[in-house]
Amino acid sequence: MLEPEKAGLQVFRNYSKAFEQHRARQFAEEADQVDFPLLEFTALCKLIVSEEERFVPVIACAYADDLLKAMYQREIPLSVPGGRGEMLTGLGPLSALAQRIQVAYAFSWLSEDVLEELNHLRKLRNDISHRWDVAVLKERLDALIRERQRPIEETLADGVRLPKGFHKALDPVQRFRVRILWVMGRLTYETRWWVPAVKAKLDPVTALYGSSKPSLLGKVADVCVEATKEVCASQK
């Protein structure tokens, strides 16, 4: 490639990047005009902190199910054949949490890692719903914590809002609670603004987590930080 061609390509890249950043800022400004009360999420966090650990997956999945249903109700066109409501109820293709997760994953309507974490939690919830042996349930919970969940808590110890190395003092159940807090926080945020970013032809990761992100992310993080401190304070 000749030097003039390289220079022209770089100018085009710079222009495209600047245009994307402008649209991301505009998207965030519009998002910030929408009121999003966090009362339900705050109540959820209190339950995640305080309830017996084997009930946490049931509570978190019920909350996540409501979020996903609300997202589909907002984003699926009313004109869809058969009606939007039919898809979300009865024997519809989006009537159960498993299908709602699968479709969101297949069409990149939410972060893949969040959906994978939610699916692990869904499977544990199903075990809890259909098994009576507490010892077996504890084994399943321990396996989830050790082998399948991402160690989210290790990335939170920035020394600013949460102490550096705070996670090292947490027992497995506390780690589980912290992980669920932050997964639910991201799900709360993304189910509201991920698909609108996609429909606006923006990279949703950049639009939601870049320098021009909506203020809702900070508000959700504030709730998660306070709940995480409560988990830390509950150490035995």
CA 135 to the chain's CA centroid: 30
Confidence of residue 12 (pLDDT cuts 50, 70, 90): very low
Q: Could you tell me if residue 53 is inside a domain?
A: yes
Q: Answer yes or no: pTM beyond 0.85.
A: yes
When mean pLDDT is compared across 1-5, 100-104, 133-137, 178-182, the lowest value belongs to 1-5
Task: Match 């669920």 to its residue by tokens.
Answer: 180
pLDDT at 15: 46
Taking the C-alpha atoms of residue 34 and residue 79, their distance in angstroms, rounded to an integer, is 25
Q: Could you tell me if residue 216 is inside a domain?
A: yes
Query: pLDDT by residue (tens digit) across 25-67?
Result: 999 999 999 999 999 999 999 999 999 998 999 999 999 999 9
Residue 20 above 60 pLDDT?
yes
pLDDT at 110: 98
Select the highest-mean-pLDDT range: 13-27, 132-146, 161-175: 161-175
Environment class of 116 (CB within 10 Å of its CB; exposed 0-12, middle 13-18, buried 19+): middle
Percent above pLDDT 70 for the chain: 91
Q: Could you tell me if residue 130 is inside a domain?
A: yes
Taking the C-alpha atoms of residue 94 and residue 85, their distance in angstroms, rounded to an integer, is 10
Q: Please give the structure tokens belonging to residue 192.
A: 């509201």
Cα torsion through 189, 124, 150, 148, rounded to 10: -150
Q: Could you tell me if residue 2 is inside a domain?
A: no
SS3 1: coil
Q: Please give the structure tokens belonging to residue 132.
A: 């009576």
Q: Please give the structure tokens belonging to residue 136.
A: 């077996």
When mean pLDDT is compared across 10-14, 220-224, 232-236, the lowest value belongs to 10-14
Q: Could you tell me if residue 146 is inside a domain?
A: yes
Residue 193 above 90 pLDDT?
yes
CA 109, 111, 114, 120 torsion-angle sign? positive
Q: How many CB atoms lie within 10 A of CB 123?
A: 16
The parent domain of residue 161 ranges over 20-233
Environment class of 57 (CB within 10 Å of its CB; exposed 0-12, middle 13-18, buried 19+): buried
Taking the C-alpha atoms of residue 131 and residue 92, their distance in angstroms, rounded to an integer, is 27
Number of domains forming the structure of the chain: 1
Spatial contact of 108 and 37, defined as CB atoms under 8 Å apart: no
What's the whole-number average pLDDT of the chain? 89
131 vs 35, 55, 128, 139, CA distance in Å? 41, 13, 6, 12
Percent above pLDDT 90 for the chain: 70
Residue 228 above 80 pLDDT?
yes
pLDDT at 134: 74
Nearest to 145 by CA among 108, 173, 181, 185: 173
Task: Match 């997202």 to its residue by tokens.
Answer: 71
Residue 224 above 50 pLDDT?
yes
pLDDT at 236: 54
Q: Could you tell me if residue 11 is inside a domain?
A: no
Q: Please give the structure tokens belonging to residue 113.
A: 């890692």
